């Protein structure tokens, strides 16, 4: 079988598996979007098949005929040789497949441009690892000190600090490198422990990386540790997503058996290796030159990355195994050699706050300086699992809430992530629907910010009521509204909004708003007392504030109180990587935040119920 738009040839023996499973298992990566995990519910795993045809263009000698599920989800497009990969059961392998939507795979234009701009290191530049050039005298009859002592003495004379080593391989390096006449070497030193990490005759390229492990996507940033310069960045869908779009689904899967949790770790480690290999290749370097990787994420992603027991996180009171900062060499956590391309990497996990509130929230606070503000302020990091942090009189309070992924296009019939072709802005002008896509190309779906705009515009124009019911311009209630006709899309299928899509956003916004109201109620303050609302995350960085307020996702405060902060998890991780002082501050932040478990507050449920409704608006005339 040939996958035409990936230039891949797969060899397999048909065993009753569907094509989605076969392709993902053979390629060991998810290249086809399948929000329902191949259960035939989402209709997103569209492929085109060509091969041996019989009289009917939709019937092949080597695959099963279209199923009732396909007929319902695809309609007439079946007769254009379009099928669902999860419904195709091949009986042979002599055919070609074209994946109709590679956006889940070709994610290199995901909204990571923010990583390159608007960044400022607000701490002294002082990375944990650095290069020290040393000139070590050879041994003599008068000075027959051992090799390491001579090396350490020279280092201490330059820095006034002792040097230590605990690696036999490095001791072997010392023995070989100090035998020539010059004795000149380059040492990579760990400031935190005064450990000698590596010794070489040629000056090494000292690279670092930040990995933001989100529930939905993984963002990687490659950084020069000598200058602090960002060299490149990229992202990939988190491959764990096939085992559950939300945290609890993945934890449930992992609890089934140790091998399944190991499988989840292997997936994320392989993705990190793939990203960093690609990034270093783009600058003509090697992943062997990456010496420290800072990994941020929520507590579940943290534990799955390290393959720590997740029993405590799977039920109340949601207690992690450990919250403090951790460091391991890649080989120490990589039982199945998924990080073999990164043999020299020191992997650092910043501290967690507790519950599901992880290191991403800590570095959000770190980068924004949120903990230093005076008065009452709100910080929200939108995501599949959103963190809400309230600052009042120098005290920090935090809660997390499952937004269900709707803000990232999940559970939306025509939803997709923020990649090329996604509708990100939407307006209704003189009853005409106008849209703007990422990359300014023909639309293929709707991302989170586009959905917020669409709902806001429909509310303004009276085509959406406060209950979430959709209607035509004449007021007739409908279950599906066509936003872009098929002929104007890149997928030759209409892009539309359904009542279920609206419900998904209603639940996500209700959860977010209920969390905010629970925090303010607990501290006995009003919404109006909030002096600033700091919006973090990739989704948040592209929001239209007016649309957000119209649908009631965030409090109806003056626009000048809203501050778009961008991808602060990546920026905060970068700050953590580049400054030892920042690390100390991050550890202080982690222990100073009071975590609130929302289920302990009876009013949370009533706030959630109230939040399901949209604000009532006067119909636009």
Fold of the domain spanning 207-349: Nucleotidyltransferase; domain 5 (3.30.420)
Render pLDDT for 97-118 as a digit per residue (tens, 0 to 9). 888 766 555 444 444 554 456 7
Residue 562 — φ and ψ, nearest 5°? -95, 130
For the chain, domain boundaries: 2-99, 129-200, 207-349, 366-405+506-611, 406-500
Q: Is 484:573 a contact under the CB 8 Å cutoff?
A: no
> So what's the pLDDT on residue 54?
43
Residue of 571, 564, 562 lying closest to 540 (CA atoms): 564
At residue 192, the pLDDT reads: 92
pLDDT of residue 193: 92
Residues 111 and 576: their CA atoms lie apart, in Å, by 22
3-state class (DSSP) for residue 301:
helix
Identify the CA nearest to 535 among candidates 548, 551, 522: 548
Cα-trace Rg, the chain:
27
- Which one of 3.50.50.60, 3.60.15.30, 3.10.20.880, 3.30.365.10 gives the CATH number of domain 129-200? 3.10.20.880
> What's the pLDDT at 110?
43
Please list the residues that pair with 53 across neighbouring strands: 60
pLDDT digits (tens, 9 = 90+) for 306-330: 999 999 999 888 999 999 999 999 9
From the candidate CATH numbers 3.10.20.30, 3.90.1150.10, 1.10.150.130, 3.40.50.2300, the one assigned to the domain spanning 2-99:
3.10.20.30
- DSSP secondary structure, 7-19, as one string: TEE------S--H
Pairwise CA distance, residues 306 & 213, whole Å: 12
264, 461, 566 from 259: Cα distances, Å:
9, 53, 37
Residue where the block lists tokens 């492929």: 47
Residues of the chain with pLDDT under 50: 53-59, 106-111, 114-115
Tell me the C-alpha distance between 377 and 379, whole Å.
Answer: 7
Q: What is the pLDDT at residue 132?
A: 95
Q: What percent of the chain has pLDDT over 70?
A: 93
Q: What is the pLDDT of residue 79?
A: 61
Output the pLDDT for position 227: 95
List all residues 6 or more positions away from 113 whose beta carbon is below 8 Å from its beta carbon: none
Report how far apart the first and last C-alpha atoms of the chain are (Å, whole number): 57
Element containing residue 399 per DSSP (H, E): strand 395-402
pLDDT at 115: 47
Q: Residue 399's beta-bridge partner residues?
A: 388
Q: Is 619 helix (H, G, I), strand (E, B) or coil?
A: coil
Which DSSP category does 80 fall into? G
Q: Which of 352, 401, 354, 406 is nearest to 381 (CA)?
A: 401
Distance between CA atoms of 170 and 162, rounded to whole angstroms?
17
What CA–CA distance (Å, rounded) separates 476 from 152?
82
Instruction: Return the structure tokens found at 74.
Output: 């695809």
Q: State the pLDDT at residue 384.
A: 82
Sequence-distant (6+) residues with CB within 8 A of 262 are: 307, 335, 336
In this chain, the answer to whether the domains covering 2-99 and 129-200 adopt an identical fold is yes
Q: For residues 453 and 435, what is the distance between their CA atoms, to the nearest angstrom?
A: 10
**How far is Cα 325 from Cα 329, in angstroms, rounded to an integer?**
14
Handedness of CA 156, 162, 167, 172 (dihedral sign): positive
Please give the model's pTM, rounded to 2 decimal places: 0.84
> Does residue 99 contact residue 1 with C-beta atoms inside 8 Å?
no
CA-based max dimension of the chain: 101
| CATH architecture of the domain with residue range 366-405+506-611 | 2-Layer Sandwich (3.30)
Between CA 384 and CA 389, with CA 386 as vertex, the angle to 5 degrees is 170
């Amino acid at each position: 079988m040939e996958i035409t738009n990936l230039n891949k040839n797969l060899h397999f023996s048909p065993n009753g598996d569907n094509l989605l499973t076969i392709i993902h298992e053979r390629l060991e990566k998810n290249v086809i979007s399948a929000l329902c995990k191949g259960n035939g519910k989402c209709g997103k795993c569209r492929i085109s098949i060509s091969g041996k045809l019989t009289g009917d263009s939709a019937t092949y000698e080597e695959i099963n005929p279209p199923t009732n599920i396909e007929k319902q989800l695809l309609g007439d497009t079946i007769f254009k040789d379009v099928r669902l990969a999860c419904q195709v059961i091949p009986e042979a392998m002599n055919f070609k497949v074209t994946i109709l939507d590679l956006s889940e795979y070709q994610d290199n234009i995901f909204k990571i441009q923010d990583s390159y701009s608007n960044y400022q290191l607000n701490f002294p530049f002082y990375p944990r690892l650095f290069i020290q050039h040393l000139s070590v005298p050879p041994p003599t009859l008068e000075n027959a000190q051992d090799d390491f002592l001579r090396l350490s003495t020279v280092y201490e004379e330059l820095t006034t600090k002792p040097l230590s080593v605990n690696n036999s391989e490095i001791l072997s390096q010392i023995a070989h490198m100090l035998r020539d006449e010059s004795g000149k070497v380059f040492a990579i030193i760990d400031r935190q422990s005064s450990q000698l990490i590596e010794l070489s005759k040629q000056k090494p390229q000292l690279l670092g990386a930040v990995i933001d492990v989100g529930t939905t996507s993984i963002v990687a940033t490659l950084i020069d540790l000598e200058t602090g310069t960002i060299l490149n960045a990229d992202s990939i869908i988190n491959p764990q997503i096939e085992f559950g779009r939300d945290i609890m689904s993945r934890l449930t899967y992992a609890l089934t058996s140790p091998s399944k949790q190991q499988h989840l770790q292997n997936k994320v480690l392989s993705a990190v290796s793939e990203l960093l290999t690609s990034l270093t290749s783009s600058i003509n370097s090697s992943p062997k030159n990456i010496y420290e990787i800072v990994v941020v994420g929520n507590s579940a992603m943290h534990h799955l990355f390290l393959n720590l027991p997740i029993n405590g996180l799977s039920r109340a009171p949601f207690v992690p195994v450990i919250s403090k900062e951790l460091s391991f060499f890649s080989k120490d956590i990589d039982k199945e050699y998924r990080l073999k391309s990164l043999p020299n990497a020191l992997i650092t996990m910043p501290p967690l706050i507790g519950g599901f509130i992880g290191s991403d929230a800590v570095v959000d606070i770190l980068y924004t300086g949120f903990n230093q503000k005076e008065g009452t302020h709100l910080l929200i990091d939108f995501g599949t699992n959103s963190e809400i942090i309230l600052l009042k009189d120098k005290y920090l309070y935090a809660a997390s809430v499952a937004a269900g992924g709707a803000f990232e296009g999940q559970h939306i019939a025509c939803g997709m992530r923020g990649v090329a072709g996604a509708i990100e802005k939407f307006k209704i002008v003189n009853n005409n629907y106008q849209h703007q896509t990422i990359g300014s190309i023909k639309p293929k779906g709707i991302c989170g910010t586009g959905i917020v705009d669409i709902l806001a515009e429909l509310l303004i124009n009276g085509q959406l009521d406060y209950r979430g019911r959709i209607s035509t311009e004449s007021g007739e209630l409908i279950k599906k509204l066509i936003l872009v006709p098929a002929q104007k899309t890149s997928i030759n299928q209409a892009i539309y909004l359904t009542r279920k899509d609206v419900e998904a956003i209603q639940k996500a916004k209700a959860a977010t708003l209920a969390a905010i109201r629970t925090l303010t109620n607990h501290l006995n303050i009003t919404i109006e007392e909030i002096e600033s609302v700091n919006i973090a995350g990739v989704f948040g960085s592209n929001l239209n504030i007016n649309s957000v307020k119209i649908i009631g996702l965030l409090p109806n405060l003056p626009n000048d109180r809203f501050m778009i902060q961008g991808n602060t998890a990546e920026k905060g991780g970068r700050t953590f990587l580049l400054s030892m002082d920042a690390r100390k501050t991050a550890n202080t932040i982690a222990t100073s935040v009071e975590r609130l478990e929302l289920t302990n507050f009876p009013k949370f449920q009533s706030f959630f119920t109230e939040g399901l409704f949209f604000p009532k608006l006067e119909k636009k005339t």
